[in-house]
Amino acid sequence: MAKYSKIEVIAAMKETGMVPVFYSGDVEIAKQVLKACYDGGVRAFEFTNRGDFAHEVFGELVKYANKELPGMMVGVGSVVDPATAALYLQLGANFVVGPMFNPEIAPICNRRLVPYCPGCGTVSEIGKAQELGCDLCKVFPGDVLGAAFVKGLRAPMPWSQIMVTGGVKPTKENLEAWFKAGVTCVGMGSNLFPKDVIAAGEWSKITELCKAALAIIKEVR
């Protein structure tokens, strides 16, 4: 079961402002990346359900984080059905993220008081997700919808807490646009994890990329 409460998870996402999004089928690589992000100041990390036996890697990551990385909250991404959500909850997922909104996932997560952050592309989807207890909704794909969508949404629905993923870059111009529009946090993937850096095992570079991105977020808020 989840080690951290729903309130603690959302607070960590809000405080740091960034959730790295990563997948590897190699347990040791995943652990090194998780540790590098932790050293860079990250406290909420999304491991995506994108490959065969991804749940086995995830289970080992959660055990590693709980033992070695105090305060690191590991969640799962790319979840599209309730059965998969239930599987990862059994493995200790502290939050569940999806690329789309499946209303059948919400009660599975609510029963365990675990945040479900569904991917939404319309105001109506976000409204319905909020009705079902989704405190933090994911706007996806961010590069298609744009910061203006978030700003427009929050005008009539200022209580909305938004995480945006897709097209988020670790630059002042990009991050400032999202946070000025009103996002709670951003999800960032490939820009934090260059393929050549992963291949070379240069974990300290990932730490520095995380530090730099978090510093920009702190500046532009």
Among candidate residues 31, 107, 99, the one with its CA nearest the CA of residue 69: 31
Please state whether beta strands 18-22 and 44-48 pair in parallel, antiparallel, or not at all (unpaired): parallel
Cis amide bond preceding 156, omega within 30? no
The region, left, alpha or beta by phi > 0 then psi within -120 to 50, assigned to residue 34 is alpha
**Burial (Cβ within 10 Å: 0-12, 13-18, ≥19) of residue 144:** exposed
Residue with tokens 């946090």: 185
Q: What is the pLDDT of residue 217?
A: 98
pLDDT tens for the 221 residues of the chain, in order: 999 999 999 999 999 999 999 999 999 999 999 999 999 999 999 999 999 999 999 999 999 999 999 999 999 999 999 999 999 999 999 999 999 999 999 999 999 999 999 999 999 999 999 999 999 999 999 999 999 999 999 999 999 999 999 989 999 999 999 999 999 999 999 999 999 999 999 999 999 999 999 999 999 99
Specify whether domain 6-220 bears CATH 2.60.40.1120. no
- Tell me the torsion sign for CA atoms 93, 77, 73, 198: positive
Strand runs labelled E in the chain: 18-22, 44-48, 73-77, 96-97, 116-117, 119-120, 136-139, 161-165, 185-188
Q: Write down the pTM of the prediction.
A: 0.97
Structure confidence at residue 167 (pLDDT): 87
Residue 13 near residue 163, CB atoms below 8 Å: yes
